[in-house]
A and B are shown apart, each in its own frame.
Chain A
Amino acid sequence: MFLSASANTGRGESPVSKPLIHASSIVKVFDELKVLNKASFTLNEGEFVAVTGKSGVGKSTLLGILGTLDPAFTGELTINGVSTPKASSMELAELRREFMGFIFQDFHLLPNLSALDNILLPAVFSGTDSLEVRKDAAAILSRLDLRNDNTPTRFLSRGERQRVASARALVNNPKVLLADEPTASLDEDSEENLFDLLDALRKERGFAIIAVLHSKRILSRADRILELKGGVLHEKHA
């Protein structure tokens, strides 16, 4: 089924939901290959939407566009009321910093920095580092069962780095969490633990999640499941 607009069909349905992200007719071409072909999508407040699909169909590309990391596409994309194709690089940076949190597939941590420094990186470089932010970061680290010490993240296990990346995504209290295969290469227990925590935090803070996922157990937690196939998003039943 081609989705021209979203419908809250999952368990996380909220009566006050309003679109945080609205994408319409997104087309992305790589070397004459249409990876996304008029894909449309809406993410509402507090929703957990999972995106699935075979390897190489363009799931990460879609997430990159929704996260304003890739401006080279056609179509309409509105995030928090801002039309991104018309927005300046400063406005987009502000959207990413204030409105979104990213959990990248490869984590994208700076290996020489400690967990806390990686988490504080966006705040420090944006000039918004404060005692409050540090307390929040320390609290998230604690909840994710991570040591708050000076160990560079290159010495941490993959599971630990994954949790650090999650903590970094959450520290600025985002409205949308974009996660690209956040549980890839994690064992089942770690996978469950991470999503238990994300669910708990989502209930506390009310952020929405759009995640590229493969694990059936985690997919079952999603409000909606979208399958990317032939450059178009199809809704699957959760």
Chain B
Amino acid sequence: MKNTRKAISLWNRGHWKDYVFSQGMLLVASLLLVFFISIGLGVGNILERFLSSDLPEEQVRITPQGVQAGFFQTERGGTEITADVMDSLTALPQVERIDPQVYAHVPAYLRGLLGGRNYYTDITLEGVSTAFVPDSMLEYIDWNYTLSDSAEKPLPIILSENLLILYNAGFAESNGLMGLTPEGVIGLEVQVNVGSSSIASLQAPPINLRAEIVGTSRSMALFALAVPIEFVEEVNNLYLPDDKHTYSALMVTALEAEDVPAIVRYAESMGLAAETRRGIAQKAEVLVGVVTAALGALAAAILFSAVASAIHTLVADLKNRSYALGVLVALGTKRERLVYIFAFQIFFMSLISTVFGGLLGCALSFLVSSTLLNLLPVLKYAVESLAVFPVGWLASGLGLVLAVSTISAWFFFRKILSTPVTELLRR
């Protein structure tokens, strides 16, 4: 071993720059590999998190075409969901039941104390039935509420996690408010004012209500603050008695999951939009797939360039030094011994570069993740970290980089050594 170390030291004397460069490229290749795997999977996770839905398989969410739910208001377009539409859907043999959702067409705002600071925001209330509320939540909350209950109990609110993401991404940031997690928001008490907002008010006097956030929902069906449907219908009738009674969405439960396509076809034939768990999943899958493929292609291109460059430098160095190899062979060094020494050198140096590059890649991923999470609170409250470190994948990737570079150099080295000594000695 001592002689091997000395041999490697003699061989490399005056040539360290070439090795440092080739190993540097290998280090960069390993770094990029780890970085792209880590961040790529992290981005995939966050996309899945944003696009996931807890819509049951046998349910269809039917909405008017072109309806776009915003933070404060909705825009209408296309066929509206009226009582007649609901009746025709109810008549379908595949339908078990229908749970309607209704937007409060009344302006409203919400205010409260958050982290010792007052906050205020206009809101859109959406009435949902108990069907919308998960059974686990129904065990400890009371989802029955009318205006007559206002003195006795707070208005229960289920907050859309999508809305929470928007809050964290923009509202909290721009107003210097603390960020909120889905767990941290439950139990928060606020004041809800119905009948006026910062941009509109009605002739009838507004009503102030105590409200409490009792849960959050990841349902794509919810874009606003969900409250009991009886309350929304009551408020709509109270403030806008002449308005046409329409629904913002219908949650249609089919008898069987296999009945869902028939319901979707029927709703679409009526000019309505229908969304199913499978459809949402497919959209998410396509988006995640596109992003992952784009990141993968970028990573592969950079990785290929870096590995090719590392191999090229290693091979060029060996080629330039075929004369020195010829001298060693002429002086009686066994080819097998040379193969052992250089395989050891190439493998050992490449191993160090690969491991070190991998560690730097982890550090870079961690740094990028921390920076992005600090810059974009929307991410911070959605995931703990943007960097994912799947040990198996990373080890396989680094092993591949190591194997490709080492084996390529080793093959080329064998090729040089198979050249007649007299040819190697010709400079």
Contact = CB atoms under 8 A, between A and B. Distances in A.
A34 to B, nearest CB: 17
Contacts of A125: 3, 7, 10, 328, 331, 333, 337-338, 341
A93 B329 contact: yes
B290 to A, nearest CB: 53
B420 A71 contact: yes
B335 A89 contact: yes
A102 B335 CA distance: 18
B422 A121 contact: no
B241 interface: no
Nearest to A69: B421
Interface string A89-110: 1100111111010101010111
B334 interface: yes
A93 B6 contact: no
A98 B332 contact: yes
B332 A126 contact: yes
Contact of A102 (B7, B13, B331, B333): B331
A129 B6 contact: yes
B295 interface: no
A127 B331 CA distance: 13
Contacts, number: 87
B33 to A, nearest CB: 34
A221 to B, nearest CB: 26
A108 B10 contact: no
Interface in A142-196: 152, 168, 172
B3 A127 contact: yes
Q: Which of B324, B329, B333 has the most CB of A within 10 A?
A: B333
B327 interface: yes
Interface residues of B, number: 28
A176 to B, nearest CB: 12
A126 B340 CA distance: 11
A69 B328 CA distance: 12
B327 A110 contact: yes
B14 interface: yes
A108 B7 contact: no
A129 B2 CA distance: 9
Nearest to A107: B327
A121 B324 CA distance: 11
A206 interface: no
Interface string B57-91: 00000000000000000000000000000000000
Nearest to A94: B332
A97 B331 contact: yes
B331 A90 contact: no
B334 A108 contact: no
A122 B331 contact: yes
A127 B332 contact: no
Contacts of B92: none
Contacts of A168: 331
B265 interface: no
B286 to A, nearest CB: 58
B425 interface: yes
A100 B10 CA distance: 23
A89 B339 CA distance: 14
A124 B332 contact: no
Contact of A112 (B13, B326, B327, B337): B13
B400 interface: no
Contact of A96 (B13, B332, B425): B332
Contacts of B330: 67, 69, 96, 102, 104, 108
A104 B424 CA distance: 14
Contacts of B331: 96-97, 102, 121-122, 125, 168
A126 B334 contact: yes
A87 B421 CA distance: 16
A72 interface: yes
Interface string A35-69: 00000000000000000000000000000100101
A117 interface: yes
Contacts of B327: 108-110, 121
B135 interface: no
Contacts of B338: 125
B337 A113 contact: no
Contacts of B10: 110, 113, 117, 121, 124-125
Interface of B: 3-4, 6-7, 10, 13-15, 324, 326-338, 341, 420-422, 425, 427
15 contacts: A72-B420, A89-B334, A90-B334, A93-B333, A96-B330, A98-B332, A106-B427, A110-B10, A112-B14, A122-B328, A124-B6, A124-B7, A125-B337, A125-B341, A126-B333
The 10 closest A-B pairs by CB, nearest first: A97-B332, A112-B14, A96-B332, A122-B331, A125-B333, A93-B334, A127-B3, A108-B327, A69-B421, A112-B13
Interface of A: 64, 67, 69-72, 89-90, 93-98, 100, 102, 104, 106, 108-113, 117, 121-122, 124-129, 152, 168, 172
